[in-house]
Amino acid sequence: MEIVQIEKILYKPQFVPDTGSYIDASPFKHRSRNNPLYECRCQAGSFFNTNSQFKQHCQKKTHKIFLDDYLYYYKDADISKQEIKEYRIENEKLQRKLDKCMGLIRLREQEIAFLNGIQDANVKESDDEFEDASDGIYS
Ligand SMILES: [Zn+2]
């Protein structure tokens, strides 16, 4: 029997800049169905995927303690995760840019090698000409 992996989203309270605190904000629309499954870190096995389940969950004592202590326990970790996500995206973009630049450099190197080849051939030709000319002067 195959185990179906259900994708869970970690619930994060919403930051209120005016008060510098966190409040519960439902990730679901009122009466919406077929929502993704959210997990709350206040207690193992805390899941919800409807607005009413979410509201019920927020009334639990363990959740209220979680919310009060969110700033202290989880804020830094969540910010770090968000930053890592952003850096990965930025890194991917920069990697693509770098690949493009490396391709251009390789192309330019080939052009330079080609042009140096022509120049060497020209120098050899002009050396020949010089030798020819000096023959007349020094002999
Ligand atoms: Zn909770």
* pLDDT tens column, 5-36: 678 899 999 988 888 889 999 999 988 889 99
Residue 51: Cβ-neighbour burial (10 angstroms; 0-12, 13-18, 19+): middle
Name the token pair of 13: 């309270």
Expressed in angstroms and rounded, the spacing between residue 46 Cα and the centre of ligand 1 is: 6
Expressed in angstroms and rounded, the spacing between residue 13 Cα and the centre of ligand 1 is: 9
Contacts with 115 (C-beta within 8 Å, 6 or more apart), sequence order: none
Mark the ranges of the chain whose per-residue pLDDT is less than 70. Answer: 1-5, 126-139
Residue 102 host element (H or E): helix 75-138
Indicate the domain borders of the chain.
9-126
Please state the pTM of the whole predicted model.
0.55
Query: CA geometry: angle at 130 spanning 125 and 131, to 5°?
Result: 100
Expressed in angstroms and rounded, the spacing between residue 29 Cα and the centre of ligand 1 is: 18
